[in-house]
Chain A
């Protein structure tokens, strides 16, 4: 589904991704871990089309198509979803209106008729249950005045509404207490299917207790330096990242 080859990217003059390789197959859940500043969020940004990053080398294909050529909205319409690390507040735009517009734009690109008000409401109610979201949230402005937990829950709610085929979760667990973490993870797990893939970016192993990954990768200095199964995450939790850093830095010398 997603093939990243030798990807390098920079922001201004700073090289952040340096030849990253990753393949994500249909239905797979990949966790990406790594110390602060290793390039995790940059990877999420590049995949979703944020223009503050410049790709200097390599390629990304998504279902055989060159992803880097597409605008953020085209990517979204083709089924890519980024759950933001810092969801943006948009005063004056209600959650419901925002989602209805987004959903219908995506439907339009697939040649589907827009959902009418009633069907949209039914769908929204169903998905709200999934993340245990209060009804009033849909009439509030997007993320405005939401707590950290509510914002993350809203991201997963949007994901459930838009039903993407590739979801990228950028530190969705950061700032969540254990209850919120469970709710968010339940929402993600309910979406798992043989057709849908996930890239779960996280700093902590904790989230992976709830969203059990098929593969775990360690990102360090803009490259994936180690890949394994969920056991690798336990090892990282126990030993930290230093041993990996030492391994990588030693190999360079």
Chain B
């Protein structure tokens, strides 16, 4: 972007100014504040505790530009319909909605799905946009917030159940060094339910930078399953922040699946702000080459009688690096909390590495919490067992790795999506062998 960290390059300043002509005055002020905050914070360096293992310096060495035109054809997108064709579909080309390739008309009553920029006056947007994901200490959230316009808005009204999955499909490329700042907001009102698939793809080998922020708000007794699927090429910088706020009796399942990217950073913050909430956080990253996948999760138990269950698994090959940082806060009032966290990694090569850091901070006294992190090689005994039955060494390795990964993928309820991901991991592991 720019070598002087903390200031915006000129071409981006112009982009900011044009973008900030659109929307209500209150939003314009938020954008301005966010930009000012970004200029104070700057792009994080490895001196920052939360970015210790994730060096964004390569990002500052190129100039990334927002792409202006849509050039994508329908047949390209078809391959990326990983949750099938029976979906409410928003296609974002280099971060910008491509209405021609999308299908979100004639939605059932109570369901709103569309471009965020078209919905700035919606009461749920006015109430929630940029109110959950704080940019105070998050430079990359600030950078995104300064450019709020593109992205999806999903609203499910009280007592409404959205039967069709909602697929937000992001595809980058068509030219080099594209830049996108998608901003998503989802509000699931009382007693509503929905399933969202957010998937990320590349057209070719073009490099790109996506800085995305998603806010998900679950009102009382809402039920949302969110699948974030990252399938980009190895020249993609993907910096993401997902902030979910849950009210009493709600259920949130989120699957973060990463099969691609050069540098991928996923922040996932969940605030359990009511009683009897359930949050399930599942993660799987399969990496090779010199890629880096960094998952930072924060589960904030603010109220009593809630359950959070977190399972992240990694398969790292080549020279790839993995980072897992899992924070759990159990606040003073959050008695009878159950919070579980597990991070398991397999290193497939001598040069792959993993940094795992579970962090529990517990201020209540009547809680059940556990955490664990393991990093190792494939079980030698299990490999020998498979081979002793006639299965070749490489096939045996793939067999065990797939079984390891399936443990996470099996938690995805959408069968089409689950099978598609299983096929892709199968192909990939068998190809690399």
Which residues of A approach B to under 8 Å, CB–CB? 48-51, 71-73, 75-77, 81-82, 84, 87-93, 98-99, 101-103, 105-106, 109, 141, 158, 162
Contacts and interface: CB of A to CB of B under 8 A. Distances in A.
A105 B387 CA distance: 10
Given A92-B407, A93-B399, A98 B389 contact: yes
A143 to B, nearest CB: 9
B310 to A, nearest CB: 19
16 contacts: A48-B388, A50-B384, A73-B388, A73-B396, A76-B388, A81-B389, A82-B388, A88-B379, A88-B381, A90-B386, A98-B386, A102-B389, A103-B390, A105-B390, A105-B395, A162-B390
B-side interface size class: 20 to 34
Nearest to A109: B390
B114 to A, nearest CB: 40
A87 B384 CA distance: 11
B384 A72 contact: yes
Interface in B40-85: none
A106 B388 CA distance: 11
Nearest to B399: A93
Contacts of A72: 384, 387-388
Contacts of B391: 73, 101-102, 105
Interface string B394-433: 0110011011101100000000000000000000000000
A81 B406 CA distance: 29
Given A99-B389, A105-B395, 6 more contacts: A91-B407, A98-B386, A105-B392, A106-B390, A158-B389, A162-B389
B382 interface: yes
A189 B193 CA distance: 58
Most-contacted residue by chain A among B379, B385, B388 (CB, 10 A): B388
Most-contacted residue by chain A among B386, B389, B399, B403 (CB, 10 A): B389
B351 interface: no
Most-contacted residue by chain A among B382, B386, B393 (CB, 10 A): B386
B403 A91 contact: yes
A92 B405 CA distance: 9
B390 A90 contact: no
Nearest to A45: B384
Nearest to B387: A72
Contacts of B389: 76, 81, 98-99, 102, 158, 162
Contacts of A77: 390
Contacts of A89: 382
A109 B400 CA distance: 22
